[in-house]
């Protein structure tokens, strides 16, 4: 028996589209895509767009990632090696498992792409104003790089036979191989920068430059170390640490047999001690405070100790006795009593205790100073405008002068020097284009987050300038979408190998490891088109496009439920009241 259905069920079916029901009218909170500032980018003195760089690297777009670095920093190969990565200290991922190895990735990108023949950044039309740069150190090179990006022809005058400044003549080969530095400088030259070596600018020729160039940038930095101030101190009894390093980089083998003491707690002191070890000597660092108070990088100190450098804390030089090959160094013991303004323990003499040390060589590395007084910026006065990383001087009698580099920076390292070159570029360009009054507001508009770092991309009115200055906090990351995973181990030579040679201590990681490490990055505050908003939107109101900027919300139907903002792993969606 077969029974046919006699009638269709009465089912609610409509051929009208549900689009007639504009559910967006129910909304009282409105989601909005808003890229924000990642803490690493604000923590980087050069203001690198780290979150974006890692996003590109994760996708295997190494050239684009590298180019993104170059927009803010002309020296990624250098910084990937010698920068002490303040970015890593503020990485939100540290609260999840471990921070991203940002410097390792920077170095990988620089090494991987530099040799690929890829030429980043298009040249722009040249401007009429030509700019002189004195000193081819990191600040001068950076100033020339950024000025070229804006179209200013630049000539760099360098006193020594080769460009690089402290990078070329100070930092030892085992930290920064010469080939890496040369490749970076060659790229800067390809931007049109002319570097003139062996051309020391004197106070007299400086004046001439002020007449023949539209502006002069001075980034001469520190030429030699400061003296210890001991009786009997002379260049033979107490040798300058910086000079010692320079001799090394000139290819000489300065004498350091027997027992050397290095006085100081900064990176120069550590570099000198490690170099002595490599030359077969014995090195003891004497520091008047404690290890945790040393300005030198903790990693560098640890490496030095592994290599056999001895560190003696709370001990300060007091006097010299004797002379010649065996000098007697008289030292006072120190102790901690209370706290200094900067939070470090205050040191005082530990009674009358003294120690005698018979040593072969004494190296001073307690500070450094400029070679010539005119290298330093003038004191604040009429016609002088001071900024965080440079000083603009508009005295009469010539073109404006911008002072930068270590002589204007509070913290003295490569990344700060790059920041100085960048800030100086913005200062001089704004001065030329819009006048002195516009400089401060313009710099303010280019700040990355709330720190001192500046973005050249923002200055050039690139997309980065549209981001919120809000720095994404760990609590704003939806960590449900991330899996705990450790970062790559940093490959490095054994302590034994290091003691025997000047070969680079650290080596790079593979492309696979780099992409994997980049994929750990939260990309704080940056939309990476993960489509969580699209998938979760209950009103199908998220509209995707082929390009990132095409992604938008159809407010006719968005009910403002906030699921998109909640499920955005990266805090790139915000909810705000209507009309805001």
Partner 1 sequence: MKQVLEGNSAVAEAVRLARVQVISAYPITPQSHIVEVLSDYCATGKMDARYLRVESEHSCLASLVGAACAGVRTFTATSSAGLAYMHEMLHWTAGSRLPIVMAEVNRALGAPWNIWSDQTDSLSQRDTGWMQFYCEDGQEVFDTVLQAFRLAEWVNLPVMVVTEGFLLSHTYEPVDVPDQEEVDRFLPPYNPAFKVDTKNPFTFNSIAAPSIYMEIRHDNAVAMDQVLERFDDVEKEFEVIFNRRYGALEAVNCDDADIILVTSGTITSTARLLLDDLWAKGEKVGLLKVKMFRPFPVESICRALKTARKVAVIDRNFSSGAGGIFLQEVRAALCNMQERPLVFGYVVGLGGRDVTTALLNDIYEKTKDSNVPPDKSIWMGLREVKT
Tokens matching residue 521: 């990055």
The first and second tokens of residue 244, run together, are: 């010692």
Is-contact 471 50, C-beta < 8 A? no
Q: CB of 189: closest distance to partner 1 in angstroms?
A: 60
Report, in Å, the least distance between residue 532 CB and partner 1. 17
Write down the least CB distance from residue 538 to partner 1, Å. Answer: 13
Residue 21 Cβ, how far from partner 1 at the closest point, in Å?
Answer: 7
Residue 162's CB: how many other CB atoms inside 10 A? 18
Query: Looking at beta carbons only, is 360 or 566 nearer to partner 1?
Result: 566
Rounded least distance, CB 13 to partner 1, Å:
5
Binding track, positions 261-300, relative to partner 1; x by CB under 8 A: ----------------------------------------
- Min separation Cβ 4 and partner 1, Å: 10
Give how many residues touch partner 1 by CB under 8 A.
Answer: 15
Token pair, residue 255, equals: 């004498």
The burial of 7, by beta-carbon neighbours within 10 Å (0-12 exposed, 13-18 middle, 19 or more buried), is given as exposed
Q: Which two tokens stand for residue 283?
A: 């090195």
Q: Which two tokens stand for residue 398?
A: 């010539």
Closer residue to partner 1, CB minimum distance, 21 or 484 = 21
Give 16 or 342: the residue with its C-beta nearer to partner 1.
16
d(CA 273, CA 279): 10
Q: Which one of 1-9, 43-51, 355-363, 547-555 is the stretch in contact with partner 1 (CB under 8 A)?
A: 1-9
Shortest distance, CB of residue 1 to partner 1, whole angstroms?
A: 6
Q: Which is nearer to partner 1, 152 or 557 (CB)?
A: 557
Comparison of 18 and 128: residue with beta carbon closer to partner 1: 18
Cα torsion angle, 244, 506, 411, 53, sign: positive
Site for partner 1 in 2-31 (CB under 8 A): 3, 5, 8-18, 21
Minimal distance, residue 300 CB to partner 1, in Å: 51
Compute the least distance from the CB of residue 481 to partner 1, in Å.
Answer: 17
260 pairs with which residues across the strands?
283, 361
Question: Residue 234 and residue 260: Cα distance in Å, rounded?
Answer: 16
Alpha-carbon distance of 346 to 339, in angstroms, equals: 5
Would you say 5 or 580 has its CB closer to partner 1? 5
Residues 539, 163: Cα–Cα separation, whole Å: 60
Q: Is the dihedral of CA 153, 431, 379, 453 positive or negative?
A: negative
Nearest by Cα to 495 from 333, 308, 307? 307
Minimum CB separation of residue 5 from partner 1 in Å reads 7
Q: Which is nearer to partner 1, 97 or 566 (CB)?
A: 566
Range 21-80, binding partner 1 (CB under 8 A): 21
> Which distant-in-sequence residues (6+ apart) come within 8 Å of 65 by Cβ?
53, 54, 56, 57, 109, 518
Structure tokens at 364: 């001073």
Report CA-CA distances (Å) from 51 to 92, 419, 466.
Answer: 11, 19, 15
Show the tokens assigned to 576: 């705000």
Q: From residue 460 to residue 479, what is the string marking binding to partner 1 with x (rule CB under 8 A)?
A: --------------------
Separation of alpha carbons 353 and 426, rounded Å: 53
Which tokens sit at 161? Answer: 């036979």
Identity of the residue, 13 or 379, whose beta carbon is nearer to partner 1 in the bound complex: 13
Shortest reach from residue 552's CB to partner 1, in Å: 24
Calpha distance 577→562 (Å, rounded): 12
For the bound state, the minimum distance from the C-beta of residue 549 to partner 1, rounded and expressed in Å, comes to 31
Beta bridge partners of residue 492, listed in sequence order = 506
Asked if 544 and 550 touch (Cβ cutoff 8 Å), the reply is yes
- Least distance CB 7 / partner 1 (angstroms): 9
Choice between 14 and 231, CB closer to partner 1: 14
**Which H or E element spans position 149?**
helix 138-149
Pairing type for strands 131-134 and 215-218 reads parallel
Q: Is there a contact between 165 and 140 (Cβ–Cβ < 8 Å)? A: yes
CA 241 to each of CA 127, 181, 276: distance values in angstroms, whole numbers, following the listed order? 42, 22, 11
User: Which residues form the interface with partner 1 (CB under 8 A)?
Assistant: 1, 3, 5, 8-18, 21
């Amino acid at each position: 028996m077969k029974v046919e259905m006699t009638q269709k069920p009465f089912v609610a079916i409509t051929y009208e589209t549900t689009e007639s029901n504009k559910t967006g009218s129910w909304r009282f909170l409105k989601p909005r895509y808003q890229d924000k500032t990642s803490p690493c980018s604000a923590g980087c003195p050069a203001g690198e767009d780290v979150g974006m760089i890692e996003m590109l690297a994760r996708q295997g777009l190494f050239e684009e990632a590298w180019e993104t670095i170059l927009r803010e920093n002309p020296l990624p190969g250098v910084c990937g090696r010698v920068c002490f990565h303040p970015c890593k200290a503020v990485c939100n991922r540290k609260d999840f498992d471990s921070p991203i190895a940002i410097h390792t990735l920077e170095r990988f990108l620089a090494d991987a792409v530099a040799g690929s023949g890829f030429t980043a950044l298009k040249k722009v039309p040249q401007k009429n104003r030509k700019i002189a740069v004195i000193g081819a150190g990191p600040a001068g090179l950076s100033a020339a790089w950024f000025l070229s990006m804006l179209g200013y022809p630049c000539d760099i005058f360098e006193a020594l036979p080769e460009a690089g400044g402290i990078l070329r003549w100070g930092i030892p080969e085992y930290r920064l191989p010469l080939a890496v530095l040369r490749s970076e400088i060659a790229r800067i030259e390809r931007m049109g920068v002319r570097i003139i070596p062996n051309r020391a600018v004197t106070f007299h020729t400086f004046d001439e430059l002020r007449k023949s160039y539209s502006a002069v940038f001075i980034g001469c930095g520190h030429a030699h170390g400061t003296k210890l101030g001991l009786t009997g101190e002379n260049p033979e009894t107490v040798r300058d640490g910086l000079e010692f390093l320079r001799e090394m980089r000139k290819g000489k083998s300065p004498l350091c047999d027997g027992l050397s003491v290095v006085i100081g707690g900064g990176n120069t002191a550590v570099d000198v001690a490690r170099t002595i070890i490599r030359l077969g000597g014995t090195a003891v660092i004497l520091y008047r405070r404690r290890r945790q108070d040393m300005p030198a990088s903790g990693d560098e100190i640890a490496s030095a100790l592994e290599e056999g450098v001895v560190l003696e804390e709370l001990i300060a030089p007091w006097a010299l006795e004797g002379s010649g090959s065996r000098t007697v160094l008289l030292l006072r013991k120190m102790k901690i009593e209370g706290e200094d303004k900067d939070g470090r323990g205050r040191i005082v003499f530990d009674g009358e205790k003294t120690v005698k040390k018979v040593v072969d060589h004494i190296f001073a590395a307690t500070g450094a100073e400029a070679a010539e007084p005119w290298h330093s910026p003038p004191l604040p006065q009429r016609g002088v405008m001071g900024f965080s990383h440079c000083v603009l001087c508009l005295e009469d009698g010539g073109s404006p002068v911008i002072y930068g580099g270590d002589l204007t920076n509070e913290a003295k390292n490569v990344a700060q020097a790059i920041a100085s070159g960048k800030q100086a570029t913005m200062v001089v360009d704004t001065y030329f284009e819009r006048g002195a009054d516009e400089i401060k507001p313009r710099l303010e508009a280019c700040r990355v987050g709330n720190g001192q770092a500046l973005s050249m991309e923002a200055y050039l009115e690139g997309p980065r300038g549209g981001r919120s200055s809000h720095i994404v906090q760990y609590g704003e990351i939806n960590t449900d979408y991330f899996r705990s995973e450790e970062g790559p181990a940093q490959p490095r030579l054994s302590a034994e190998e290091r003691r025997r040679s000047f070969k680079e201590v650290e080596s790079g990681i593979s492309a696979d490891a780099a992409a994997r490490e980049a994929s750990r990055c939260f990309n704080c505050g940056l939309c990476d088109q993960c489509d969580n908003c699209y998938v979760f939107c209950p009103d199908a109101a998220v509209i995707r496009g082929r390009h990132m900027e095409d992604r938008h919300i159809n407010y006719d139907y968005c009910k403002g439920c906030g699921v998109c903002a909640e499920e955005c792993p990266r805090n790139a969606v915000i909810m705000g009241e209507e009309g805001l």
